[in-house]
Structure 1
Amino acid sequence: MSPARTLTLYRWPFICLCLSVFLFYLSFNLLLPLIPLYAIGLGLREGHVGLLHGFFALSAMLWRPLAGHWADAIGRRPLVVLGPVIFTLSSLGYSAAAGAASLLALRFFHGVGMGFGPTAGSVVVADVAPPDRRGEAMGIFALTTTTGLAIGPYAGIEISERWGIHAAFVTSAAVAAAALALALMLPETRPAGLQPPGRLSLRGLFSRGALYPSALLLALFFGYGGLLSFVPLFARREGLGNPGLFFTVFALAALVGRTRAGPLTDRFGRRLVLVPGLVTAGLALVVLAAAGTRSAMIVSAIVYGLGFGAAQTALMAMITDRVPPDERGRAMGTFFTAWELGISAGSMLAGVLVASLGYTAMWWTGAGVAGAGALVASRHITRLRG
């Protein structure tokens, strides 16, 4: 690969965005294993913990389509900036939560930031990446989010156990503020002369071309919602140690999956990477259902990370193939709406299943949904793009 070709991707807007998004997700992931444990301390029942991630994801889902529309209408940068502002305020607010109602309200507000920042950020990636390197660019962009996941959960537990959970809330807010500082340096990448979207309407918020990959993403993220909500409680219940270790190992495996998946999707096609990724993610949840040791939990995290990272990267590349430049914002809004819908539905249903049938039934349900997604994606498996 020539240096000139490399510079067409690795320019300041892309680098600045990736650094900001890394810190944005690090702020979020510092609290990922702590919120369920904090909720139990405030009096929530185990079966209700799924509502916490459900409310967060539901809020993000409601704002994703609007974020996509506004990214096309007013630009990408204001929305990239707004995300870390909300994250900073939310992280500070958790210390003031006095019960279930205030905690759920904070989760809903926190989710607004997730609805704006990553949606607009993914549009920036589509703006600056050369068409023949979009798979690679989306893979690198996804790596920044995964790196935050690799560090955040384990570090959050350690900070909480050493200095208390309120110190973890303050740390999360400080990291979000650093993400904001970088976001303010990001130039606007909306192409000059781009035709603005039409009048705001429910139909105009979504991209028809993005519906197919978004439906497949929902199948992937359904099981992920259960992981986010219940791995911390599952690990503590089974005596598997720091639950942040699962997320760290998962994230490192996803780094490998995404690093390899981006170029592979460009060379062999999106579906030839996507289908094995979905199947692998489903098998990992089956392993987790039977996990009774720390080693089994780690194996599950490795397998899930490889499959999840490959499938997500392939889907992000697929969606950029299917829409024109003036529809990218709405396409990413549609895509991330499915992302949050999968997490929200998966988290809430996981809570119902844990309360009524137990953890094993919950993990198997997530595996089944991922397998169904792989079956749907296997149509036209040899198609290279879109």
Structure 2
Amino acid sequence: MGDRSNAEPRPGGTPRRVELGLRQNAAQFTLLVVVNALVGGMLGQERTVLPLLGAEEFGITAYTAGLSFILVFGISKAATNYFAGTWSDRFGRKPVLVAGWLVAVPVPLMLIWAPSWTWIIVANVLLGVSQGLTWSTTVVMKIDLVGPDRRGLAMGLNEAAGYAAVAATALATGYVAEAYGLRPEPFFLGIAFAALGLGLSALVVEETREHARLEATGHVARADGKHDHLHGELTNGQVFVQTSFKEPALSSASQAGLVNNLNDGLAWGLFPILFAAAGLSIGEIGVLAALYPAVWGAGQLVTGALSDRWGRKWLIAGGMWLQAVALALIALAESFSLWAVAAVLLGAGTAMVYPTLLASIGDVAHPAWRARAVGVYRLWRDGGFAVGALLAGIVADALGVPAAVWTVAALTAVSGLVVAVRMYETRHRPDVV
């Protein structure tokens, strides 16, 4: 695929050569990796500090109320993911990316100055919209650039950058908060990330929609006949139905993505409170809050590429089951060392799942409607934040935090079973008959 090319006019009339392939687009791909790391940093600024801020500064005692910031984040991000795909096809990828960064600018300022929990809620609505626009668009742009042969690697690099930044920022804000307090210093990082992300996206990132159009002109049906009925243009409604319910691989990926982020919402909102109740310091909580996304981020450098070689299905199913085991260990453990082991296992399981799900969507969805399919998948996946916050809060208020962790562990195990039973292997190698 790497030798296929076309010419796209630049502003001013000079044609830019459009080619598919990681090597051919190395500069823009690397730039998008950096941009997505900044996107992850915007999310990471909240992972350690915000649950503690709700309990200590705003007096939030009920778990359901304390998780409200994750609930609104999940709803706004999920909805925005859907529109991000549609808008990327209609207006281009770059305008959507820049718009996402513009929405992000006030978020750290609102977190710093918030006089009430309502301000925190509104800031997280904006953060969800921003994450939906920016993260979705960087995913689509990388898929556009690399073509079909290195899709798993591309998603591994994208998600690794984002979640490594989540981890690094969660760790840094934990130490800053321990040294200087919960506000304002931990959120200074978010101000810097927003400024850099907006500047790079507006001034240096280039449009990639023509790469998708180039791939579509040479798109070849699979020799095994899988998903031939999905070739060509589909309406928005058809894309939603196929990705959500009808097409076995797409819908299996959507439910697995939802459950994956359901347990991430639990980890984000309740783990710091669970660890604090056990007597851990803010610094130790920061280490645990960072360890899980750090392993998740770094692991994707391996798992994304492995899915190109080994296939998608069993990495996804196995990753969901490993997450379930890790959550069970967190519910049982009572010490920093055991929680650290569980965080590593949870990160490893998520690394197996996260880029592989995105790659499977790219495998099945036709280039003509792939951005919309990614948007629908991410609608379901990030809706898991909202479902997780609501479910975990209700169960924790009724039965305690360990019961909430056990509930999510069981749902995660069942999700892996759905993938094992319903999903077919989407990674088709033409050399394998």
TM-score by length of 1: 0.92
CA shift at 1:30, angstroms? 1.8
Match among 39, 45, 64 for residue 24 of structure 1: 39
State the partner residue of 1:307: 349
State the secondary structure of the residue aligned to 1:385. coil
**Residue range with higher mean Cα deviation, 238-247 or 263-272:** 238-247
Give, in whole Å, the separation in 1 of the partners of 2:412 and 2:277. 26
Post-superposition CA distance 1:69-96 (Å, at most 9, x none) = 0001111111112222222211111223
Match among 125, 129, 148 for residue 142 of structure 2: 125
**Residue range with higher mean Cα deviation, 272-281 or 189-198:** 189-198
Do the aligned partners of 1:80 and 1:116 also contact (CA within 8 Å) in 2?
yes
Do the aligned partners of 1:217 and 1:335 also contact (CA within 8 Å) in 2?
yes
Match among 127, 130, 135 for residue 110 of structure 1: 127
Post-superposition CA distance 1:306-360 (Å, at most 9, x none) = 0001111211111001111111211111111112111111012111111110111
Do the aligned partners of 1:274 and 1:315 also contact (CA within 8 Å) in 2?
yes
C-alpha root-mean-square deviation of aligned residues, in Å? 2.4
Matched, 1:179 2:197: yes
**Alignment CA distance shift 1:354-1:193 (3 Å):** closer
CA shift at 1:251, angstroms? 2.4
Match among 108, 112, 130 for residue 95 of structure 1: 112
CA shift at 1:15, angstroms? 0.8
State the partner residue of 2:30: 15
Post-superposition CA distance 1:231-286 (Å, at most 9, x none) = 11111111233322113221232234312212221122111211111100010000
Matched, 1:232 2:272: yes
Give, in whole Å, the separation in 2 of the partners of 1:139 and 1:45. 38
State the partner residue of 2:164: 147
**Residue range with higher mean Cα deviation, 119-128 or 84-93:** 84-93
Give, in whole Å, the separation in 1 of the partners of 2:112 and 2:294. 30
State the partner residue of 1:45: 61
CA shift at 1:102, angstroms? 2.5
Q: Which amino acid aligns with 2:36?
A: V
Matched, 1:318 2:360: yes
Q: Which amino acid aligns with 2:47?
A: L
- Greater gyration radius: 2
**Residue range with higher mean Cα deviation, 133-142 or 166-175:** 166-175
CA shift at 1:224, angstroms? 1.2
Give, in whole Å, the separation in 1 of the partners of 2:34 and 2:212. 28
Post-superposition CA distance 1:161-186 (Å, at most 9, x none) = 32331122232111221122221210
**Alignment CA distance shift 1:50-1:311 (3 Å):** same
Q: How does 1:199-214 map to 2 (within 5 A)?
A: 203=237, 206=240, 208-209=242-243, 210-214=250-254
Give, in whole Å, the separation in 2 of the partners of 1:283 and 1:158. 29
**Alignment CA distance shift 1:174-1:307 (3 Å):** same
State the partner residue of 2:331: 289
Unmatched 5+ residue regions in structure 1?
A: none
Q: Which amino acid aligns with 1:188?
A: E
Sequence identity of aligned pairs in percent?
A: 25
Match among 160, 173, 186 for residue 168 of structure 1: 186
State the secondary structure of the residue aligned to 2:369. helix
Matched, 1:217 2:257: yes
CA shift at 1:99, angstroms? 1.6
Give, in whole Å, the separation in 2 of the partners of 1:367 and 1:43. 29
**Alignment CA distance shift 1:255-1:320 (3 Å):** same
CA shift at 1:365, angstroms? 1.0
Give, in whole Å, the separation in 2 of the partners of 1:378 and 1:153. 34
State the partner residue of 2:89: 72
Give, in whole Å, the separation in 1 of the partners of 2:212 and 2:166. 37
Matched, 1:350 2:384: no
State the partner residue of 2:71: 54
CA shift at 1:10, angstroms? 5.5
Do the aligned partners of 1:160 and 1:167 also contact (CA within 8 Å) in 2?
yes
Post-superposition CA distance 1:39-63 (Å, at most 9, x none) = 2211222411111111111111121
Give, in whole Å, the separation in 2 of the partners of 1:205 and 1:70. 14
Do the aligned partners of 2:252 and 2:423 also contact (CA within 8 Å) in 1?
no
Give, in whole Å, the separation in 2 of the partners of 1:144 and 1:385. 23
**Alignment CA distance shift 1:33-1:314 (3 Å):** same
State the partner residue of 2:6: none
Unmatched 5+ residue regions in structure 2?
A: 3-19, 217-231, 244-249, 429-433
Give, in whole Å, the separation in 2 of the partners of 1:288 and 1:192. 44
Q: Which amino acid aligns with 1:191?
A: E
TM-score by length of 2: 0.83
State the secondary structure of the residue aligned to 2:368. helix
Do the aligned partners of 2:153 and 2:305 also contact (CA within 8 Å) in 1?
yes
Give, in whole Å, the separation in 2 of the partners of 1:374 and 1:220. 10
Query: How many matched pairs?
Result: 382
CA shift at 1:198, angstroms? 8.2
Post-superposition CA distance 1:349-379 (Å, at most 9, x none) = 1111111101111111111111111101112
